[in-house]
């Protein structure tokens, strides 16, 4: 009898609990999702700078502020798919839920701090010339053709304006070892001949020029 009563008594109590939990779950789920994105954004900016302006640590953390969202999304997927090889970012990308990636990319895109600065400036004019017109004799196309005359990029093609000087130099120097591992279908593949045709002085000049652009 007692057993029967308690069996009878349990369901209503359980129902109340379920109702309470369910009643909170829907809005909570949404705010939990938002705060998970907030926390991940804080995580990104710990290394990439408070306003995603980039940071020069032992490794150079690139500027993400103002970056094309499709570029950020493609690169995060490239880390996950090992089309781009980077030991730090491979782990980082695995810790970002793929459902969070578009929201993070949009938040980075919306930021607009001034350039990180600190770059040399002796070869800015050469950099500007190569950026605008390329080097026809070396089979280097004009950077502006794809990255835009203002270096803001488009779709999966990155913004270069305000990118850290040291990041530009480093990433162009190791391009083919890190990027485009997915073959010709990987958009980063297209940079391989261009990177090979640039001298290190020309790379530095380009880096000087774009790093100062706003």
Partner 1 sequence: MNLSRTMLAALAVSFVTTAPLLADELPVANCTWCHGTSAQGFSVAPRLAGQRLDYLIDQLRSFAAHRRDDFLAAKYMWSAAAHLDSPNERDLAAHFSALPPNAAADGDSALVAEGKAIYENGVPDENIVACQACHGPEAQGVREIPRLGGLAYNYLSDRLAAWTQGYDASAAPMPKVARSLSPSQVAAVASYLSFVGGESSAK
Q: Partners of 61 in the beta sheet?
A: 55
Q: Where are the beta strands (DSSP E) in the chain?
A: 55-56, 60-61
**Token duo for residue 203:** 């790379």
Please list, in sequence order, all residues whose beta carbon lies within 8 angstroms of the beta carbon of residue 166, skipping any fewer than 6 positions away.
56, 60, 119, 207
Which is nearer to partner 1, 95 or 183 (by Cβ)?
95
Look up residue 134 and give its two tokens: 């390329």
Q: Which is nearer to partner 1, 35 or 139 (CB)?
A: 35
Cβ contacts of 169 within 8 Å, gap of 6 or more = 200, 203, 204, 207
Q: In this chain, which of 5, 58, 136, 185 binds partner 1, going by CB under 8 A?
A: 58
Give least dist CB 9 to partner 1, A: 41
Distance CA 148, CA 43 (A): 30
Least distance to partner 1 from the beta carbon of 49, Å?
8
Does 42 interact with partner 1 (rule: CB under 8 A)? Answer: yes
Question: CA-CA distance, 147 to 110, in Å (whole number)?
Answer: 18
Q: Does 46 bind partner 1 (CB under 8 A)?
A: yes
CB 53 within 8 A of CB 63: yes
- Interacting stretch for partner 1, rule CB under 8 A, among 86-94, 124-132, 150-158, 174-182? 86-94
Closest to partner 1 by CB, 18 vs 39, is: 39
CB closer to partner 1, 111 vs 126: 111
Q: How far is the CB of 37 from partner 1 (least distance, A)?
A: 11
Among 29, 50, 81, 150, binds partner 1 (CB under 8 A): 50
Among left, alpha and beta (phi > 0; psi -120 to 50; other), residue 99 is alpha
Q: Does 165 bind partner 1 (CB under 8 A)?
A: no
The rounded Cα 210 to chain-centroid distance in angstroms is 18
| 92 touches partner 1 by CB under 8 A | yes
Is 177 a residue that touches partner 1 (CB under 8 A)?
no
Residues 66-85 that bind partner 1 (CB under 8 A): none
Q: Is 61 a binder of partner 1 (CB under 8 A)?
A: yes
Which residues in this chain contact partner 1 in the complex, by CB under 8 A? Answer: 39-40, 42-43, 45-47, 50, 55-59, 61, 88, 91-92, 94-96
């Amino acid at each position: 009898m007692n057993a029967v009563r308690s069996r009878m008594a349990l369901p209503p109590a359980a129902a109340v609990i379920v109702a309470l939990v369910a009643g909170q779950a829907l809005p909570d789920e949404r705010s939990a999702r938002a705060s998970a994105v907030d926390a991940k954004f804080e995580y990104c900016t710990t290394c990439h700078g408070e306003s995603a302006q980039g940071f020069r640590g032992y490794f150079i953390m690139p500027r993400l502020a103002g970056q094309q969202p499709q570029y950020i999304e493609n690169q995060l997927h490239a880390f996950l798919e090992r089309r781009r090889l980077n030991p730090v970012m491979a782990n980082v990308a695995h810790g970002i839920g793929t459902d969070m990636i578009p929201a993070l990319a949009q938040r980075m895109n919306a930021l607009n701090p001034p350039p990180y600065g600190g770059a040399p400036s002796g070869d800015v004019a050469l950099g500007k010339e190569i950026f605008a017109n390329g080097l026809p004799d070396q089979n280097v196309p004009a950077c502006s053709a794809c990255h835009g005359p203002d270096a803001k990029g488009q779709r999966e093609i990155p913004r270069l304006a305000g990118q850290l000087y040291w990041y530009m130099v480093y990433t162009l120097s190791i391009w083919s070892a890190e990027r485009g591992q997915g073959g010709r279908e990987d958009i980063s593949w297209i940079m391989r001949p261009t990177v090979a045709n640039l001298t290190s002085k020309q790379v530095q000049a380009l880096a000087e020029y774009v790093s100062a652009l706003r």
